[in-house]
Amino acid sequence: MKRIGIILGIIVVIVVVFIFVNKSYYPSLPIDNLSAKEVIEKLKKSDEKIVEIATDDDSTWYITRNENKDNVLIADEIIKQMIGSNGWDFKDKMGAGLFFEKEEEKLIVTTQMWTGKYVLVQVQNKYKEL
């Protein structure tokens, strides 16, 4: 009976270590083919406040740190700076959407709290085109 308890204890420890090493405790990402561990490492290795993590046909995904848990405005300011550096003017915010304009074009940027520490940002690809 003691032997079964020891074996079960070892299995539990191995599973817990595996979960923490692979960051499996984070929620799933809305982006295919990326793990939470890869995304977080990309941000940690970068000196930038916001890091590109994936691109698809319609949009580009970024991640940023939410340094103050209760204040998403920190992430919003980082996004406004990044988008504004390409000539887009911030116009309005409604819910999780930030609205920008440039040369009669409109751009919508959406944010999503991924965890208490990280915010995912989806930007339409026309951000870089104009």
Q: What is the 3-state secondary structure (H, E, C) of 118-129?
A: EEEEEEECHHHH
128: phi then psi, degrees, rounded to nearest 5: -90, -20
Q: List the strands of the sheet with 97-102, edge to edge.
A: 50-55, 59-65, 118-124, 105-113, 97-102, 89-94
Domain ranges of the chain: 29-129
Residues in contact with 10: Cβ distance below 8 Å, sequence separation at least 6, in sequence order: none
What is the per-residue pLDDT across 62-83, written as a single tens digit (0 to 9) for each? 999 887 655 557 888 899 999 9
Write down the architecture of domain 29-129 according to CATH.
2-Layer Sandwich (3.30)
Per-residue pLDDT band at 53 (split at 50, 70, 90): very high
pTM: 0.75
pLDDT at 52: 92
- Give the pair of three-digit tokens for residue 24: 């499996």
